[in-house]
Amino acid sequence: MVELAELQALAYIAQIVGVIGTLIAAFIAVRSYINANKRAEEAKKKEQETRDRELETRQTQLFMSTMFDKLSSQETAKARALINKKIPKTVEEWEKLNSDPEINAAWQTVWWPYEGIGVLVHEGLLDIRLVARMIGNTYKSAWENWSPMFMQARVKWSFPRYAIESEYLYDRLIEFGKTHPEYYVVESEYKGIT
């Protein structure tokens, strides 16, 4: 016959086996949970990387197809040549020149794409690095030539936001150029080529 002590020992062993089984099941469950979270995080990371690549691609498409194509078109080259024949020094000279519909249209053709690029950079839809690489020096020179007139126009026309996005674009280009001399946006002693 089985003694009480043996039964208690068997019950104790059964409890230990049950506890060990429960611990093993808990360990497996926790491990499964951790692995599932890791897989979910990896999937999120891959999804974000895909979105980032899509955004970069879209930025490039947007810049190239709408802005750069416009700025490098034959129409814009002709318009630029027309307005560069006589660069006004005051807003009054500019208004007089713009009374000619052809010159006014030339101004719109040349300048408003820059304003649009400024909006895209301001909204974070276009990376300033792309702008610096493609039109940095050209735009810097254009802004520096025309901005005194734009500033006068803001005051005279009581229109403080006139060409404000173009100014924002200029400021960001200069800021970027100071930390990235390889783009030659601002004068530097950088001698390398990238």
pLDDT tens readout for residues 49-95: 888 788 778 777 777 776 777 888 899 899 989 988 888 888 999 89
Cβ–Cβ under 8 Å, residues 26 and 18: no
Centroid of chain to Cα 109 = 24
* Residue 3: predicted pLDDT: 80
3-state secondary structure 141-176: HHHHHHHHHHHHHHHHCCCCCCCHHHHHHHHHHHHH
The string of DSSP codes covering the chain is ---HHHHHHHHHHHHHHHHHHHHHHHHHHHHHHHHHHHHHHHHHHHHHHHHHHHHHHHHHHHIIIIIIHHHTSHHHHHHHHHHTSS--SSHHHHHHHHTSHHHHHHHHHHHHHHHHHHHHHHTTSS-HHHHHHHHHHHHHHHHHHHHHHHHHHHHHTT-TTTTHHHHHHHHHHHHHHHH-GGG-SS--------
* Residue 174: predicted pLDDT: 94
Instruction: Read off the pTM.
Output: 0.67
Centroid of chain to Cα 73 = 24
* Token duo for residue 35: 């692995």
Regions of the chain with pLDDT less than 50: 188-190, 192-194
